[in-house]
Amino acid sequence: MTSRTPDPPSKRQLAAAMGIALVTAVVILVTAVLPAEYGIDPLGTGAAMGLTLLASPPAKTEEPAPPAGDPLIPVQEGPVASYSTEYKSDAVEFTLGPYEYVEYKYDLEKGASLLYSWTASAPVIQEFHGDAAGSDGKHPQTYEKSQKLRASGAFVAPFAGIHGWYWENPGAETIAIQVTSAGFYRAGLEFRFDGTRKTHQIGPLRPPIAKAEN
């Protein structure tokens, strides 16, 4: 018994198959390709299936504008105080002979913050206080006063002016005082027992970035 070879498709069948393929290609083009690639969606099927989002350019994220005005005046947003400049960091050392004194203060705007630590090689008479801008130091406001060896703390300026410490050596031995701070201040101002004055210009300090351990 011999097998029969299938008859080849007729021209009508070929035409019908090509027509179906063409219609399918057009449907895919209109419903999927055009909405996804070019954002063209004549039937609305691209929007229904979320395909038109693929053709949309990503939205640009705009950077928030820095606070207006003086960059050292904080803009309070709830518990957060924002500045349009980097904080500064300072480290300075003073040597006081017997019964000598020195004052060191930072120029701060109202509401500006300061972190500080200082240590002395022996107990000193000290006063932490501030002078309002334009007062010429005539009416200082005392924040803390005692005799101690060291202090660390955080401070928010209650008014614009200079804020810092008076240290006095109460004995006959030389004393060294080391101060470190970070904050939003313009400069450090030094006033010594002999009437000399000095302005310490302080720039932003970028600490080294620690590498994460694997």
What is the rounded average pLDDT of the residues 8-22? 66
Structurally, the chain folds into a number of domains equal to: 2
Strand ranges, E, within 135-208: 141-156, 161-168, 175-183, 187-192, 197-201
Angstrom distance (rounded) from CA 110 to CA 193:
28
In a domain, 153, yes or no: yes
Per-residue pLDDT reduced to its tens digit, 140-189: 999 999 999 999 999 999 999 999 999 999 999 999 999 999 999 999 99
Question: Are residues 79 and 126 located together in one domain of the fold?
Answer: yes
Cα–Cα separations (whole angstroms), residue 113 to 75, 78, 107, 195: 12, 15, 11, 29
C-beta separation of 176 from 93 below 8 A: yes
Task: Decide if 79 is inside a domain.
Answer: yes
Residue 143, both tokens: 């924040």
For position 82, which CATH number holds? 2.60.120.680
Strands 197-201 and 175-183: unpaired
* Tokens linked to 106: 């930072």
Which residue segment(s) compose the domain that 47 sits in? 12-55
Encode pLDDT of 111-137 as tens digits: 999 999 999 999 999 999 999 998 877
> Which of 110, 116, 136 is CA-nearest to residue 128?
116
Both structure tokens of 33: 């390709």
Confidence at 20, pLDDT banded by 50, 70, 90: confident
Residue 147 lies in a domain: yes
* Predicted TM-score (pTM) of this structure: 0.64
More confident residue, 149 or 12: 149
Cα 189 to chain centroid distance, Å, stands at 26
Looking at the domain assignment, is residue 208 inside a domain?
no
Predicted local confidence at residue 70, as pLDDT: 80
